[in-house]
Structure 1
Amino acid sequence: MGNRNRNTAILLIAAGLFILIEHYINFFTIAALLFIALGVYKIRSSPDKTGYVLLGVGVVLLFSGHFTFILSVVLISLGLFYMKSKQAHRDDSYTQKQTILESFKRDKEPWELKNTSMWNVVGEIYMDLSLVMLDQKETTIVLQGVFGDVDIIVPEFLGVSVNASALVGQINAGNEKETGLVNKVNWQSPNYETSDQKVKLIVSYVVGDIDIKMV
């Protein structure tokens, strides 16, 4: 499984890069990305709907006449996902899932958390880790994709390590915050090293709003 995933990852990344080179990024693509970045910023900083309008304009610009750009981003993202999943999990005993649209919510009743890798083009993820049932000392979760809205609630008794990145958007993890372009946050809960149960979160989106809160 490891060699197959690695070869698939290399093929997807190469295909995505080839499409980008063949159909170079033009002014309208850059304008669309700027609209998306400004929209994400407005959504986080202002209560009005201006941010959603800007974000919508940016997405429409990208999809109308820029299908090859979107396709290349999706292929590269999926290829990187395969590579990161293999690196993050020590063996093949983990769940791997790829979807176009994903709405994953676990916030109302106890649920079981195992080693998992999830990739989606558009994803809405809400996890309340205060309700999880863990069957091992350390659990690794990989969340990756193109557009993502991720909210994770972390209880104080759980040791958590966060490696989060978003090319465009915002990341909040513990007392760390990054907003704008090329965001990256590495953070550990104070009790991570001494905790009996640990969760390692690896979250990466091209455009993302990532919020990880301690309660």
Structure 2
Amino acid sequence: MENRKRNTAIALIVFGIIILFGKLLGFFTIVALCMIWFGAHRIRTSRQSSGYILIAIGSLIIISEHLTLIIAILVLSLGLFYWKSKRTHKHATYTQKQSFIQSLRWDREPWVLKHMSIWNVVGEIHMDLSKALPEEKEVTLILQGIVGDVDITVPEDMGLIVHASVLFGQVDIRSEKETGLLNKVIWQSANYETSTQKVKLSLSYIVGDLDIRIL
């Protein structure tokens, strides 16, 4: 009986939220955001083709419903990306990349770890820092965009600082997990100050599934 009441309460709350956001954003916009979210989830579970299709359809619906707003969000996001990259990498040489759709997989072969800023509208990023060849003792990575599925593996002996935020989605860093709306996590490994190799991660997406695993 109690479970039934609880399920009824949850259903009413969810239904109320859908109605509220439906009034504010429109029914088709809510459907499109759900499609983008499920698409990102399918990409994570190796169903890449259907995931990208859902993201593409959801994006097209949002663009058709709110073209001016979408352009404004893209311009604002890209402007903030340039500003943050320049401020963060003020005294360092860094690589900067921008793309509309990107699938980045640096988790299979050795790769060069250096100061870097990456921005994309829709991005799938997999990094294994245990396979990385660092250029410097301390490296800063900025990953930013609109929709992101980010999966980063970090060896335990590497010092790590993470600043992660998503408007819709989840952030998962070891014991720290935030899910839902307006999620922000700031995390630092206990060995950061004493580590010979340090990495600072700055992750920011509007819709995202951010997973940082410590080996």
Which bracket does the TM-score occupy, shorter chain normalised? 0.7 to 0.9
Q: Which residue of 1 aligns with 2:77?
A: 77
Aligned residue pairs, count: 187
Q: Which residue of 2 aligns with 1:65?
A: 65
What RMSD in Å do the two structures reach over aligned CA positions? Answer: 2.8
- Residue identity over aligned pairs, in percent, reads 50
CA contact (8 A) 1:41 1:179 kept: no
1:23-72 per-position Cα deviation (integer Å, ceiling 9, x unaligned): xx7534763576368748987xxxxxxxx798777545312222222211
Q: Which residue of 2 aligns with 1:143?
A: 143
4+ long deviations beyond 6 Å: 40-43, 52-57
1:156-187 per-position Cα deviation (integer Å, ceiling 9, x unaligned): 11111100000111111121111011110100
Amino acid at match of 1:27: G
- 1:64 is paired with a residue whose SS is helix
Q: Which residue of 2 aligns with 1:183?
A: 183
Amino acid at match of 1:205: Y
CA contact (8 A) 1:29 1:66 kept: no
1:119-172 per-position Cα deviation (integer Å, ceiling 9, x unaligned): 001111000000111121100000000011000000011111100000111111
CA contact (8 A) 2:168 2:181 kept: yes
Deviation, structure 1 residue 73: 1.3
* Structure 1 Cα separation of the partners of residues 151 and 41 of structure 2: 19
Unaligned runs of 5+ in 2: 1-23, 43-50
TM-score, normalisation: structure 2:
0.76
CA contact (8 A) 1:174 1:189 kept: no
1:187-202 equivalences under 5 Å are 187-202=187-202
CA contact (8 A) 2:36 2:59 kept: no
Return closer, same or farther for 1:35/1:111 CA change in 2, 3 Å cut-off. closer
The one of the two structures with greater contact order (alpha-carbon pairs below 8 A, sep at least 6) is 1
Amino acid at match of 2:91: D
CA contact (8 A) 2:102 2:122 kept: yes
* Structure 2 Cα separation of the partners of residues 116 and 34 of structure 1: 29
Q: Which residue of 2 aligns with 1:159?
A: 159
- 2:120 is paired with a residue whose SS is strand
* Structure 1 Cα separation of the partners of residues 105 and 62 of structure 2: 28
Q: Which residue of 1 aligns with 2:18?
A: none
TM-score, normalisation: structure 1:
0.76
Q: Which residue of 1 aligns with 2:91?
A: 91
Q: Which residue of 2 aligns with 1:110?
A: 110
Return closer, same or farther for 1:42/1:99 CA change in 2, 3 Å cut-off. closer
Unaligned runs of 5+ in 1: 1-24, 44-51
Return closer, same or farther for 1:141/1:38 CA change in 2, 3 Å cut-off. closer
CA contact (8 A) 1:103 1:123 kept: yes
Amino acid at match of 1:147: V
